[in-house]
Chain A
Amino acid sequence: MADPHDQTLDRRQALMLGALGVAGLLLSACSSSPGIDDAVDSFVADARRTLRQLAETPYERDALLAAFGDMEGTARQLALLIREEDARLDVRMRDPAVSTAALQEDVDAYLTQRIALRGTLLQQQDRLRTALGQERWTRLTEALNDPDRMVRIVGRSA
């Protein structure tokens, strides 16, 4: 575990953040309080810039950016689903007129959608990692290792 006063992320944590970041941070952004969005935009911009640098050909650059764009799109879609459905379920749970059966159907439909989107997101991440290979994937995650930014984003739920 990190020293709570140490602003340096170790290599494993950087890997985690990079791997989680694309999905986790974008998901966080969509449900975050004001002031976080710019940190997420900065994360996305850094990821795109690093991918451009890591690409060995213009063709590969376009492919990597497209793969990242796919992930970003799915992450935003998933975040929106989570935010909207959690809010909707919260409202309906409090409404005594809503039946138990209706709520159970709502939950089942929501979780099915959520699982499908998560699977898509992980497949997209898989394609990006495979396209980059171990060394460049590690370089990408290290390039995204910005403790201050991560703290701003993850601090929301810390």
Chain B
Amino acid sequence: MPVGITLATLAGIFLLTSGDDASLLKPDTLIDPLQDTVKDPERRSEAIAAVRAAAGAVALFNDAARTAVEQYLAMVGDTSKTSAQLETPFRGLDTYRRAVIHDLIGLRSMLASLLTESEWRNVLPPKED
């Protein structure tokens, strides 16, 4: 079994900092349903452009999360570092994460105003609690 435990992989498991929650709505997964569902080309292209922009923002956030983890990893083996120092790389990320999620909520508002009810149900089918 290949190991390949790289920093990027570690970053993926490190849920303390990972971008998992910034992927709410997972914008890149919305593109195909939008293509299939929205027949009006103008609305479709507007929606897809917004979704692509959001997907790009999430990808940038995930890069920043990986960088923060790398900074954390560079310090964590050193017992002279305090928890406050160890937390430093994540603090900027907290603000960033909040902004990205708020942008995703903005994307949702935009889609809500752009799509019909039935298109919405196809693109964002309900999930059980």
Which of A's residues lie within 8 Å of B, judged by CB? 1-7, 9, 12-13, 15-17, 19-20, 23-25, 27-28, 31, 78-79, 82, 85-91, 93-96, 100, 103-104, 107-108, 111, 115, 118-119, 121-123, 125-126, 129-130, 132-134, 137-138, 141, 147-148, 150-151, 153-154, 156-158
Contact = CB atoms under 8 A, between A and B. Distances in A.
Interface residues of B, number: 47
B101 A158 contact: no
Nearest to A8: B3
B87 A118 contact: yes
Given A28-B13, A111-B98, 14 more contacts: A4-B4, A5-B3, A15-B76, A15-B77, A16-B76, A20-B76, A78-B16, A93-B24, A94-B127, A103-B105, A126-B82, A147-B3, A147-B5, A154-B13
B98 A134 contact: no
A12 B25 CA distance: 36
A126 B90 CA distance: 16
Contacts of B41: none
The secondary structure that dominates the B interface is helix
The secondary structure that dominates the A interface is helix
